[in-house]
Amino acid sequence: MADPSISPPLTRSSVEAAHRLIKPFIHETPVLTNSTLNKLASTPRTAEELAGTEWEGRDPAKPVIRFWFKCENFQRGGAFKVRGAFHAVERLKREPGWEEAGGREKGVVTHSSGNHAAALSLAALTSSIPAHIIMPSNSSPIKIAAVRDTYLANLTFSGPTTPEREAAAARVVAETGARLVPPYDHPDIILGQGTAALELQEQFARLNQGNDKKKLNAVITPLGGGGLISGTALACSPSSPEDEPIHVFGAEPTLDGADDARRGLAQGERIDWIGPTRTIADGLRIPVGKVPWTIIHDRKLVRAVYGVSETEIKRALRLVWERMKVVVEPSAVVPLAAALYNEEFRALIEKEGGEEGWDLGVIFSGGNVSLDALEALFKEE
């Protein structure tokens, strides 16, 4: 991995430069709307729906929400992760002395539960560079198959926790001399991931051409290690002091303490470890990284992070499949679940959006889920 000290600054202009660099390797994924989901989100929840929740007895929020879904499930590799992986690899190839030192033969290494593993494998394969991938033993079978069989990476399994994954990666680095490309905790990764939100803004403007008053009010993303949300926050930073800000929010599952960023913001300190979690949002089973935390917390470029339950994730997942006819993985719908079911977030939109409401960008982070997993997921209900 390129030395972080020589990475571009963490700014919107650097996200724009990253987009120019990786554009030949990625898809400009579509932005979709859905009137049924807009109507559901803009309908107050009933007292019965709020019974048993932390909002029981409160007046339901009455927001007006128009969704704009950035569908990274249609991205190469099935997820946004290729943006950061291709940016990291392309910058590594341009690092002075890397090729002369045998970097192309030694390759790259990472640890990931799936989407970044597949993304780096694809980026390395495209440049004819070996990829050494460490995956937790509980990773999704479809993601394991993509890494090993489709992208031909050298695969090693590890325990499920972040320290176990990092230790396995360190051993492979020592054995091979390969360069570490972390899944989220590096400026090059963050800048690459931010290109999704950059495209979303451009596509929103094109879709609303002729309506100068129409603007994207906010973007909400899933939050695991924090690469996507921190890159999104940079991409949504105003280009000039005259520009109105695009607010950035995150969403996490609350099961087994997976909402570490939300809790960390509440206590003012990053939580660097979470135990094994059973959340179905398997891509979000990791703590937020150090570099993303500087953007999320220290620079205050993310307004808030909201938590959702497993039941709410499943409900949102079913709505996307049935109403939009789009296949996404559970992690991808966590932001939608927050907009539909988290009364704190909904009340904020009602307060700040008023009768006009908000145009809310939602990044569907990926669609790597097997039919067997989908069947098992809803067979439990």
Could you give the residue numbers annotated as active site?
A: 81, 113
Place of tokens 């997820």: 79
CA 239 to chain CA centroid, nearest Å: 23
End-to-end CA distance of the chain: 44
Tally of helices (H runs) and strands (E runs) in the chain: 17, 10
What are 159's two structure tokens? 């325990």
CB contact at 8 A, 234 and 15: yes
> Angle at Cα 329 formed by Cα 140 and Cα 339, nearest 5°?
140
CB contact at 8 A, 137 and 158: yes
Q: What is the CA radius of gyration of the chain?
A: 20
**Beta pairing, strands 154-158 & 247-253:** unpaired
Q: What one-character-per-residue DSSP string does 257-311 give?
A: G--HHHHHHHHTS----------S-GGG-SPPPHHHHIIIIIS--S-EEEEE-HH
